[in-house]
Structure 1
Amino acid sequence: MKLATIRTGGGTQAVRIDDAHAVELGAPDLGAFLAQPTWRSLAAAADGPRHPLEGLDYAPVVPRPEKIVCVGLNYASHIREMGRELPEHPTLFAKFARALVGAYDEVELPAGSAEVDWEAELGVVVGAEVRHASPSEAQAAIAGYTVVNDVTARDFQYRSVQWLQGKTFERSTPVGPWLVTDVEPGELTCTVDGDVVQKADTADLVFSPADLVAYVSRIVTLVPGDLIATGTPGGVGHARTPARYLGAGSEIVTRIAGVGECRNVCR
């Protein structure tokens, strides 16, 4: 099942994406819809107003999540190729909701940065409130998966040992186009202006989605609509020789097999 938040003439609507139509779910966005304990059965049975798929304007899957938790260094092959040991605990940082854009929106290049980079990532959307979750509780709390690109201003990121300032520029982070339930995510790829720059199997994650939900829930209560970006594999522009960065007009395409695709132009 695919669930999304779309923009309409009257605001936004949570919808189920079917083969020919988007069916309204009776909530203003997917965050509000997931807050209902029986959201899975409600989504399956929904029979609200319909919208043709062609021309849908996708908002970020959850436009205003309470929390956006991001993970660094989480692909085993990438860590090993850098000569590092696998981490014992996840490396966490955060974003704010104003950083998010939809799957086909323009990405706004941060003013004052000359080193804007791509980071294709699997996104995990939380579908139930959890605190101190067991592995099984963590898995059950996952609503589904989405596509994220953690676009990063490297020159701001490395001004200090804390990464936040390089990670949360407004309108910089594509998320979408939908949340997919009951799927095993597959290969992740990122292309920039037609060049394949990242390719990895999401099965290579050091800390799985359920691991991350369980770990983060030990620190803070996770609630429906929270987003966890699970980390990026090798292939980022900053690590190339010479380094390669995004510029005005650059097109980023982020795909995850079984989940979906974001396609964004930088302005």
Structure 2
Amino acid sequence: MPSVEHVTSAEYSAFGNFEAIRVTEFEDRLIAQLDRPAVRNAIDQGMVAELHAICGYLESAPKILIITGTPADPVAGTKAFFASGADISQLRDRRRDDALRGINSTIFSRVTALPMPVIAALDGFALGGGAELAYAADFRIGTAQLRVGQPEVGLGIMAAAGAVWRLKELVGESLAKEMLMTGRILSGTECLAAGIISELVEPDSLIEAAGALADRIAKQDPLAVRLTKLAFHAPREAHPVIDTLAQGILFESDAKFERMDGFLARKKTS
């Protein structure tokens, strides 16, 4: 891991006062560990507010974001949880106007739109809103113990924070409908086969694997990565214009000349 770079901005010194998320910052990445184990990392209003604070920081100081949950503790006999979904004790009292505010969908869209890539490191249960948070990431790595599903219809509601369209893009229409309308829960192996995760690792290696992926991203030119992500998420009708404009910016960057000169120099000596 790179050396730790401490947050000094007064605006974001609140990281140390977070109650729902543990934040560890490095020079080129930030690790956000969801940390409400007593309620299986249920996503409540407090966690949403802390995610907004993290996004605000990363929008002004772009870095790779790794989101993970609480690992299993064999000594305490507790299971691993990424996030068990929205906090039902809060969700029970929400009404129409609360739904129209898009509390979870707004923050998940903000996570997706972060300048640098987002990696979800998944172990244990990622259900409901927890699964939707995982879908919002650019990359997902999981364990065999991972369980992903959308149980909302069993509670008389629907998955309204991104699953009805992100899940279809990830796994296809048939499996997405089955998960959304029957509450089917996929194992880690099934998630790998379906394309929800790109890599299956042991629980003890989960953060290491996410870090290795972050290392590969960090070796690339940051501006090229940012513009590639921006172009990738642009609507189809914006292409090829956005691709051409992004490439025009990169063609004038110092990094382009430095990296290409380095490549040509290595080629001469190989």
Alignment TM class, shorter chain as reference: under 0.3
Q: Which has the higher helix share?
A: 2
Larger Rg over CA atoms: 2
